[in-house]
Structure 1
Amino acid sequence: MDHSLRERVRSGDPAAFGQLFDEHARTVYRHALRVSGDPSAAEDVISLTFLEAWRIRERVLPGDESLLPWLLGITTNVHRNVARSARRHRAALERLHENDVTPDFSHELVERVADSEELRAVRAALGRLRRTDREIFTLCVWSGLDHAATAQALGVPVGTVRSRLSRARARLRELTAEELRKSRSGTQRRDGTGQVQAGRRSAARSTQETAR
């Protein structure tokens, strides 16, 4: 990236922010979509990310490296706030409608992004990791930042990124395998109405035999 772009962003040049958006908006959106599993939430995150980037533009330091780690660091903070607000909103709705059943479309949305049982299991497992481990994993693995860029994005030492990434990978493998076992076990045992499939098949066979 041209060194002058950092200076122009820092000085508040609108054209520089337009260039910054063109270069990195897609990457920021993909990252937000992967960690949220919700296209609508990802749209909110990308808008808020660039608004926040404009607000704190003077914090950009001189240099010639990419501004992507800085943007993804902002994205991570914005997602935390959006997720926190969403949890509070859901809790408020639940208190108002304690007897209503509100469907959870999170799995459907993940399937829309990638029809993959493994991806659903990974996202569920990610939610069980410690927050810092989860953020380090998604930035390094899903968004492809190196250790130094991830450290810059999160404001932590590079050594922390290395050690926690290794731990997060190992823990994520364990949790993903556990989520897959739970998912497959549940699919085998129950149909969409919550009834045991094996029991229904046996009952059907018994009815057919009796009819004969």
Structure 2
Amino acid sequence: MTAPTETGRADDEALLASSVRDGDRFTAVYDRHFADVHRYVAGRLGPQTADDVVAETFLAAFRRRGAFDPARGTVRPWLFGIATNLIAQHRRAETRRYQALAKIGADRDPGGHDDRVAARVTAEGMQPRLARALGGLSRKDRDVVLLVALSGLTHAEVAEALGVPYGTVGSRLNRARRKLRAVLDMEGT
């Protein structure tokens, strides 16, 4: 989940551009970013829903690849922006998920090794208090917090992904952190 280097960004742009002429080249973009996008979506919606949403994300990216404008940002935040927009279509499922996690807590025995690893990096491993706190955030604030926390995007990349000014990301993140701290401090006593 590390940020791509300048070379990686240029490679992404070149791959995406070449995929317009040869659709098979898009496979390299998919291979490079699938795991990070899936981790982010699974953290928001759960692993079962994530498979479908990530498939939708890459299908939408494939269809829009000719309209990608590197002057407006890089491929990685563009993909996370598409995923975040698709998550919005599943907002009720996300809210129900946080409410359920807040009530019952995380599964103490998620199963095999792969499931345990996924549980650690997704909402499955969240404490009920954190789930309640995240569920109480506005959609816009929650998007910023989870793009930073689950995908490791920088403030600039979050701004690209959401199509908002850089300063707005900082404001939303600070507001969300204050709200999360207040809820977690209040419930911790």
CA RMSD in angstroms, aligned pairs only:
2.9
Aligned ranges 1:1-212 → 2 under 5 Å: 1=8, 2=11, 3-9=13-19, 11=20, 13-36=22-45, 38-62=46-70, 66-84=74-92, 86=93, 107=104, 112=110, 113-114=119-120, 119-179=127-187
Which structure is higher in RCO with an 8 Å CA cutoff and minimum separation 6?
2
Measured in 1, the distance between the counterparts of 2:129 and 2:177 equals 14
Q: CA deviation at 1:55?
A: 2.1
Q: 1:23 to 1:118 in 2, by over 3 A?
A: closer
Measured in 2, the distance between the counterparts of 1:4 and 1:117 equals 37
Measured in 2, the distance between the counterparts of 1:119 and 1:46 equals 25
Aligned-pair identity (%): 37
Residue-by-residue CA offset, 1:39-94 (whole Å, 9 max, x unaligned): 1111111111111112222221135964110000011011111334x58xx9xxxx
Name the larger-Rg structure.
Answer: 1
Q: 1:63 to 1:176 in 2, by over 3 A?
A: same
AA paired with 1:155? G
Runs (5+) with no aligned partner, structure 2: 1-7, 111-118
Q: 1:143 to 1:173 in 2, by over 3 A?
A: same
Q: 1:136 to 1:5 in 2, by over 3 A?
A: same
Residue-by-residue CA offset, 1:97-152 (whole Å, 9 max, x unaligned): xxxxxxx6885666531398753322221111011111011112221111111000
User: Do 2:60 and 2:82's aligned partners in 1 also have CA atoms closer than 8 Å?
Assistant: yes
Normalising by structure 2, report the TM-score.
0.73
Measured in 2, the distance between the counterparts of 1:117 and 1:26 equals 18
Normalising by structure 1, report the TM-score.
0.66
Measured in 1, the distance between the counterparts of 2:124 and 2:172 equals 26
SS across alignment from 2:161: helix
Q: 1:180 to 1:29 in 2, by over 3 A?
A: farther
Question: Aligned pair count?
Answer: 163
